[in-house]
Chains A and B, each alone.
Chain A
Amino acid sequence: MPSDDIETLLQHDFNALADRLENDRFEQRLLFRLKAKERARLGVIALAGGIGAAFAAAQFASLGRFVAPYLASASPDLLASDMPTQIAGSLLLAAAVIATALVLRQDA
């Protein structure tokens, strides 16, 4: 049997096998696994952000009380309406959410 016959046999066998493997689900499984790493990374960032936000929220009340007199000196109406704690908390939370969203958007 000449060597080019071996080559032909191998090519036929190989091409037939490759054709069968062309359309199975390997590709999807692989891409899913590749994206799983990215999803895990984003999950860790989101979890860390959530813990940070929760910790920050826990500080809002005391922070509000601390900054209230300064805010009041700038705007006596705020102190009179008893709003500084809620406003300061909301502003800080909004800033944290916006910052997290910006980071996630750039990472994606």
Chain B
Amino acid sequence: MGRNDIELVAIANVARDDAAFAELVHRHQARLRAFLRRLCGSEDLADDIAQEAFIKAHANLASFKGGGSFRSWLYAIAYREFLQDRRREKAATRLEHALKNDAAHGANTNTSIESGLSMDLRRALMTLDELERSALLLCDAAGLSHSEAAAATNTPLGSIKTYIGRGRKKMREALSGAPPQKPNEEQTIVELKGVPHAV
């Protein structure tokens, strides 16, 4: 029977076993990159962020205490990397280019999966704000629990649930062609009261 993530982290950290870390990369890289690609809309940017996240995780394995899952810890690092990159003007320009390219070239479609509904889904995802998109992708797509998503995005659990509900509603509207409703101002203020570090 294979070792679980926590055991692999311990082996990679204490015994400095590269094979153990390679196994962790193997287990998580595809889904982490899928999350980042859908989050930021650019393949290159997503892979750069994923690579940085794994390198930081490797360098900071000793700081992983095992209180939560390795997956949420890794996604938290990746999400912070995404936010940092997002803040840089260069990244914003790159993202704009990537989105334009995706729109122009049908997102490098090499399979039929990327066409049709998937493109509509991606466009609908891009109508959400970053926290809504993150929460929806982490929980509905990547399969993290609400608690894991809250830990990964450093957001209160209640807010995660709100973002998911609001995100689903906006997605429904976007996919059915209806114009998205603007969030209620009072509702937003109430939600942000519980968020110490709203982005």
Contact = CB atoms under 8 A, between A and B. Distances in A.
Interface of A is mostly: helix
B9 interface: no
B109 to A, nearest CB: 11
A102 B142 CA distance: 46
B33 A21 contact: yes
A30 B33 contact: no
A10 B26 contact: no
Contacts, number: 83
B29 interface: yes
Interface of B is mostly: helix
Interface stretch (B83-91, B111-119, B152-160, B184-192): B111-119
B54 interface: yes
A18 B29 CA distance: 9
Given A6-B172, A14-B38, A30 B29 contact: yes
A9 B117 contact: yes
A17 B54 contact: no
A65 interface: no
B100 interface: no
A82 interface: no
Interface string A22-50: 10001101110111000000000000000
Interface residues of B, number: 37
Given A16-B113, A27-B25, A31-B25, A6 B47 contact: no
A17 B143 CA distance: 14
Interface string B1-36: 000000000000000001001100110011101110
Nearest to A19: B30
A30 B57 CA distance: 12
Interface string A67-78: 000000000000
Given A17-B34, A31-B25, A35-B18, 20 more contacts: A3-B168, A7-B140, A7-B168, A9-B121, A11-B140, A14-B35, A16-B111, A16-B118, A18-B30, A19-B30, A21-B29, A21-B30, A21-B34, A26-B47, A27-B29, A30-B29, A31-B18, A33-B51, A33-B55, A34-B58
Interface of B: 18, 21-22, 25-26, 29-31, 33-35, 37-38, 47, 50-51, 54-55, 58, 111, 113, 117-118, 121, 136-137, 140-143, 165, 168-169, 171-172, 175-176
9 contacts: A3-B165, A6-B140, A6-B172, A13-B113, A14-B141, A19-B30, A21-B34, A26-B51, A27-B29
